[in-house]
Amino acid sequence: MKAVYIEKHGTLDEIKFGNLEPPRCKPDEVLVKTAYCALNHLDIFVTAGWVGLKLEFPHVLGSDGCGEVVELGSEVKNIPINVGDMVTINPGTSCGKCDICLSGNHNFCTKFSIKGEFERGTFAEQFTVPAANVLKIPEGFPLDEAAAAPLSFLTAWRMLTTKAQIKTGDFVFIQGGSGGVSLCALQIANFFGATAIVSTSTEEKAQKLRESGADYVINYNEDPDYPKYVFKEITNRQGCDIVVDSVGAATFPTSLRMLKPGGRLVTCGATSGPIAKINLNMVFWNQLEILGSTMSNQREFREVMNLVFEGKLKPIIGKEFPLSEAKEAEKYLDSGNHFGKIVLKI
């Protein structure tokens, strides 16, 4: 089968397109014939590698993907999935058998992994995934959106609902508003009737963010002292209830500064670096909460995808490439010039 893979870590030029053996369906898995897959920053981090990441090469990249079920594993029974169904996936996999998985928190399982991270991914003509991770796509729903939605939306959903307890009327500040998870967080803030304030780097992106539902857009290049404006003008000297920050080192101290007493900072990543200097006086005096979040459990995945399927949340597709041009697609993602998800058509 055709696949996008790496044979060693390095720059994005290590990404290859060629023939690999198709995956074999394990007893608890289904085999999917891919229709679309979608890019995430994780692909770039995995290509570069990190200390402790030990992969079996050739390693197929890709976390998000959808397609047609072509085979059910021997132990896959009593689930509403059949051969021929079009499905999308929760990219977070686990053992499915331990006490933690059975309690509904599979993203805390010691075997928790993400497709394309510690295991072979979705950027191929076929991929396998545990049957517990697949969800049927309603007839007529666009397949590019079905592939693009899961990782970003389930991450943003858990961050804002389970973790930060978003409610109507909240002021929600989203750092780096045009990133995959941030665009989903913006839609979820709108869905709950919160006031969404987003930061971005260019006027072009600012305009697109306004069109995507942002109540306020901050261009941090033009206004580096934007926390004052947010505090005085937007929140009427209250501060924000929630800050969504997946930027990390570059923004973390500012994010904390913008919170009201009792406010919540929720983080799912650190694209600018993982080591941040923060003022602990501010944390305890204002009783701030710093909440980490990774992916979602199966319940949250289904909740958010049902809203996507109902059209209440809508994946924004930025650009489509053929699978054979995955390297160019990853370079485009890495350039930061994209807006919305980048998808690969098989």
Give contact residues for Zn ion (rule: CB under 5 A): 94-95, 98, 101, 109
What is the smallest separation between the CB atom of 106 and Zn ion, expressed in angstroms? 6
CA distance 139 to 78: 22
Nearer Cβ to Zn ion, position 76 or 109?
A: 109
Minimum gap (Å) between residue 9 Cβ and Zn ion: 28
Q: Which helix (H) or strand (E) holds 35?
A: strand 29-38
Minimum gap (Å) between residue 266 Cβ and Zn ion: 24
In terms of DSSP bridges, do strands 126-130 and 29-38 run parallel, antiparallel, or are they unpaired?
antiparallel
Contact by Cβ (8 Å): 315, 153: yes
HSE, CB side, 13 Å, CA atoms: give it for residue 11: 3
- Taking the least distance from each CB to Zn ion, the nearer of 106 and 260 is 106
Q: How far apart are CA 113 and CA 129, in angstroms?
A: 11
Q: Which has the closest alpha carbon to 208: 292, 288, 316?
A: 316
> With respect to Zn ion, which residue has the nearer C-beta, 101 or 174?
101
Nearer to Zn ion, 101 or 198 (CB): 101
Token pair for 19 = 């023939």
DSSP assignments along 195-222, one per residue: EEEEEES-HHHHHHHHHTT-SEEEETTT
Which is nearest to 41 in space by CA: 135, 179, 172?
A: 179
Residue whose C-beta lies closest to Zn ion: 109
CB of 95 to Zn ion, least distance (A): 4
Min CB(49)–Zn ion separation in Å? 26
**Is the Cβ of residue 44 or residue 114 nearer to Zn ion in the bound state?**
114
- Residue number with CB closer to Zn ion (7 or 75): 75
**Full DSSP string of 132-146:** GGEEEPPTT--HHHH
Closest CA to 264 of 200, 194, 213: 194
Query: What is the nearest approach in angstroms of Zn ion to the Cβ of residue 103?
Result: 9
Closer residue to Zn ion, CB minimum distance, 49 or 96: 96
Complex with Zn ion: residue 117 or 245, whichever CB lies closer? 117
Least distance to Zn ion, CB of residue 107, Å: 10
* 268 neighbors 235 (Cβ within 8 angstroms): no
Least distance (Å) between residue 112 CB and Zn ion: 7
How many residues belong to the chain? 346
Element (H, E) at 291: strand 289-292
The nearest distance, CB 300 to Zn ion, in angstroms, is 17
- Measured between alpha carbons, how far is 6 from 12 in angstroms, rounded to an integer? 9
Q: Which is nearer to Zn ion, 46 or 109 (CB)?
A: 109
| Cα(346)–Cα(323) distance, integer angstroms | 5
Angle in degrees, 0-180, between the axes of helices 41-48 and 326-335, rounded to the nearest 10: 100
